């Protein structure tokens, strides 16, 4: 019996492996083999045995021949599945039900079965899945010559799919100086006691245009604000929408309801009764998110709310403005360092109280994903 050398088998092994591999032909004539993972209208990811993952510019691809089933998404929103070959610049998708032709310039994405399953889960995930965010808690206590307590809490949560997005936030600062009993608020010694929070739901109509509804709430003991509720909605535009940077501009209408407690008389201001009022206002705003390197995310939001209707007890031309800025730097998988700055300006606060409220929190952030 003759011995069969490996060198004689090698060409046969290589040629048989090509029968079960996808092939990519580039415009310069280069031919690559492997397993097509996914592509969008920018790049194609090919997994190879010897070179690992190879990212190819989509514009450089001339021909594709797949031995596996691929899911071909088109600009019309339709997806067809089957093995793919390229003929005269068109994709021929062969499925058990027949063959379909898709022009290459109409293809928005290619996905293998695994990537298609992941994509479909991202399109319609259960409400409790897909969340990412974090929380920061800080506490300080002094005793002896000074007796102070300070607590700050910050929370952010975001759930984003291909069609919609839910964002939530909360910030709270409480501080008390027991030694000097400083402060003019309802509780002597309280030097800060304010809470902000809210949520927004956005729905994409196109890749650029989206609609939104939102609710924001605030309390501020030192401004005698029991509760400010802002319910609104409108339209927005994604000016930039990449994994690295997002920039949105928004416009719409909102209804604001404010409830203020009674304000005690001081040497310069008279006693003021508790008030409750509601009015309509416009919403004009922008929101920015930018990733600084691999570990830091920067967020910024600015809003302007000019009054459309004016309560009887206020002069016309009132408005509010808000500005928020924050960073989260990841230190490990679960921990990071978070900074959050907020400024709320009210043109017509109760007499004797200030128009600006500034909130700054910083501390160790505990991140989560689900």
If you write DSSP's letter for every residue of 137-187 in order, what string do you get? EEEEEE-SS--EEEEEEEEEEEEE-SSEEEEEEEEEEEEEETTTT---SSS
Render pLDDT for 203-219 as a digit per residue (tens, 0 to 9).
999 889 999 999 999 99
Q: What percent of the chain has pLDDT over 90?
A: 21
pLDDT at 213: 96
User: Taking 70 as the threshold, does the pLDDT of residue 61 lie above it?
Assistant: yes
Which of 4-13, 177-186, 271-280, 318-327 is least confident? 4-13
Which CATH code fits 6-123?
2.30.30.100
pLDDT at 181: 57
pLDDT at 219: 92
Q: Which of 104, 80, 108 is CA-nearest to residue 94?
A: 80
CB atoms within 10 A of CB 185: 18
Reported as a pLDDT band with limits 50, 70 and 90, residue 180 is low
Given CA atoms 67, 70, 75, 79 in this order, what sign does their dihedral have?
Answer: positive
Average pLDDT score over the chain: 83
pLDDT at 126: 74
| Domain range list for the chain | 6-123, 131-369
**Burial (CB count <10 Å: 0-12, 13-18, 19+), residue 227:** middle
In contact, 256 and 277? CB cutoff 8 Å: no
Which of 83-97, 197-211, 218-232 is least confident? 83-97
User: Taking 50 as the threshold, does the pLDDT of residue 7 lie above it?
Assistant: no
Which CATH code fits 131-369?
2.40.160
DSSP assignment letter at 350: P
Reported as a pLDDT band with limits 50, 70 and 90, residue 138 is confident
This prediction's pTM: 0.66
Q: Reduced to 3 states, what is the DSSP secondary structure of residue 25?
A: strand
Could you identify the residue written with the tokens 């030694």?
179
Q: What is the mean pLDDT of residues 307-334?
A: 85
């Amino acid at each position: 019996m003759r011995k069969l050398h490996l060198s004689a088998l090698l060409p046969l092994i290589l040629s048989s492996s090509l029968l079960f591999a996808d092939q990519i032909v580039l415009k310069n004539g280069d031919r690559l083999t492997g397993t097509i993972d996914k592509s969008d209208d920018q790049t194609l990811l090919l997994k190879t045995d010897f070179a690992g993952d190879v990212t190819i510019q989509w514009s450089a691809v001339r021909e594709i021949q797949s031995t596996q089933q691929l899911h071909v998404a088109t600009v019309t929103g339709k997806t067809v599945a089957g093995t793919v070959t390229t003929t005269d610049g068109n994709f021929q998708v062969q499925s058990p039900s027949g063959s379909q032709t898709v022009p290459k310039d109409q293809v928005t994405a290619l996905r293998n079965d695994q990537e298609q399953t992941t994509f479909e889960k991202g399109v319609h995930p259960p409400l409790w899945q897909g969340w990412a965010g974090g929380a920061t808690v800080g506490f300080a206590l002094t005793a002896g010559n000074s007796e102070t307590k300070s607590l700050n809490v910050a929370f952010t949560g975001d759930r984003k799919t291909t069609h919609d997005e839910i964002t939530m936030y909360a910030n709270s600062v409480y501080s008390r100086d027991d030694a000097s009993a400083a402060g003019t608020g309802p509780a002597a010694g309280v030097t800060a006691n304010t809470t902000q929070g809210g949520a927004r739901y956005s729905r994409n109509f196109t890749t650029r245009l989206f609609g939104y509804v939102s609710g924001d709430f605030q309390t501020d003991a030192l401004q005698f604000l029991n509760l400010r509720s802002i319910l609104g909605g409108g339209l927005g535009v994604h000016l930039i929408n990449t994994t690295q940077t997002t920039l949105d501009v928004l416009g719409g209408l909102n209804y604001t309801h404010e409830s203020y407690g009674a304000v005690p008389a001081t040497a310069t201001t008279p006693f003021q009764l508790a008030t409750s009022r509601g009015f309509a206002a416009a919403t004009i705003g922008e929101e920015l998110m930018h990733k600084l390197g691999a570990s830091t995310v920067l967020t910024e939001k600015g809003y302007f709310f000019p009054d459309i209707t004016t309560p009887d007890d206020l002069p016309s031309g009132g408005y509010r403005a808000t500005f928020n800025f924050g960073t989260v730097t990841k230190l490990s998988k679960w921990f990071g360092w978070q900074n959050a700055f907020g400024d709320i300006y009210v043109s017509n606060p109760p007499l004797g109280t200030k128009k600006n409220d500034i909130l700054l929190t910083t501390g160790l952030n505990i991140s989560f994903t689900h």
